[in-house]
A and B are shown apart, each in its own frame.
Chain A
Amino acid sequence: MAVNCPSSGSNLPKGQTPLTHETGTTEGINPIAGLAAIAFPGAGHFIVRGEKQRGMWAAAGVLGLFVAGLLIGGISVIDRRDNKVWFIGQALVGPLSFGVDMIHQRMKVQDMIVDGTGRARPIGPPRPPHPDEGRAANGTPVPGGTPPYSRSIGKMNELGTLFTTIAGMLNLIIIVDAAFPTRKRPREREGAIG
């Protein structure tokens, strides 16, 4: 008796049962896998779903883009204060992105002014150091020192920001796939490779 595939409606080969969400470890909704994927790119597939090769490649793609973006544009491309809209996309990479932003914020310099009582108080928000100033231990700029980092401009900033944001958006696809996979097994899709 011919059995129809529930998703495509086509006849399945003799002896093959239709795929359900209950069959196999890689099928079905799994919020834990989604949470693992949020924590680290590819962890949902690698650790929770047991798809080690898939998880490894997912991590390689996302982290490759993220690290390449940081190498191209420097740490200044991740900035939740000055680049809020782009950071929404970058944040999808997970805690890694927030960690890089935290490091970046700590490397900024804080201008200070001494008021009438002799106390130093900050002027404005922390800012990236100028190319000709360093950073003291208390965060104030030091004229003539080496800057803790250089803020990227132009194409390098655009590319670095783009790389890291695309990494976040692709990680969203990977998170959704880890939590709610819709991929069909090969036996369901004879001849299909993509």
Chain B
Amino acid sequence: MMFLELAYRPFLDPLNAHGVWYLFLLPMSLFVSIAYKSVRVSEMKHFMRQVIVMTIQIIIAMIALGVAVYLFVQHIVPLIVPKG
């Protein structure tokens, strides 16, 4: 597998970070917060505080959603679906 031996070329090759894909939630939520709050806040002096708050909110919400889906699939669905 030759492509595994090649060095990472930014923008040309994908990152080899399949094992830690969930960590990309942090930069994604940060950039989403920056872009959204840049047009949402009325005064820019509150901008950074709002960005930090929204970033934390997104991360907590995503973790909560993950826990909820896990509980549903692992514990609720087996109660609904009859055992084959």
Contacts and interface: CB of A to CB of B under 8 A. Distances in A.
Interface of A: 42, 45, 53-54, 57-58, 60-62, 64-65, 68, 70-76, 131-132, 146-150, 152-157, 159-160, 162-163, 166-167, 170-171, 173-174, 177, 183-186, 189, 192-194
A23 to B, nearest CB: 15
16 contacts: A65-B32, A73-B15, A148-B12, A150-B3, A150-B12, A150-B14, A153-B14, A156-B15, A156-B18, A170-B35, A170-B36, A171-B35, A177-B39, A193-B43, A193-B46, A194-B41
A124 B18 CA distance: 32
B44 A74 contact: no
Contact of B12 (A149, A166, A186): A149
A177 B32 CA distance: 16
Dominant SS among interface residues on chain A? helix
- What 5 A-B pairs come out closest when comparing CB atoms? A61-B35, A152-B14, A131-B3, A61-B34, A57-B38
B27 interface: yes
Interface in B12-29: 12-18, 21, 24, 27-28
Contact of A72 (B1, B3, B9, B15): B15
B31 interface: yes
Contact of B28 (A57, A153, A166, A194): A166
B14 A184 contact: no
Given A68-B27, A173-B39, A174-B39, A154 B44 contact: no
Contacts of A61: 31-36, 38
B13 A150 contact: yes
Contact of A71 (B11, B44, B46): B11
A75 B18 contact: no
Nearest to B16: A156
Contacts of B18: 154-156
A149 B3 CA distance: 10
Candidate in A159, A173, A186 with the most chain B CB atoms within 10 angstroms: A159
A74 B11 contact: yes
Contacts of B31: 60-62, 64-65, 68, 167
A89 to B, nearest CB: 14
Nearest to B15: A72
Candidate in A45, A149, A162 with the most chain B CB atoms within 10 angstroms: A149
B10 A185 contact: no
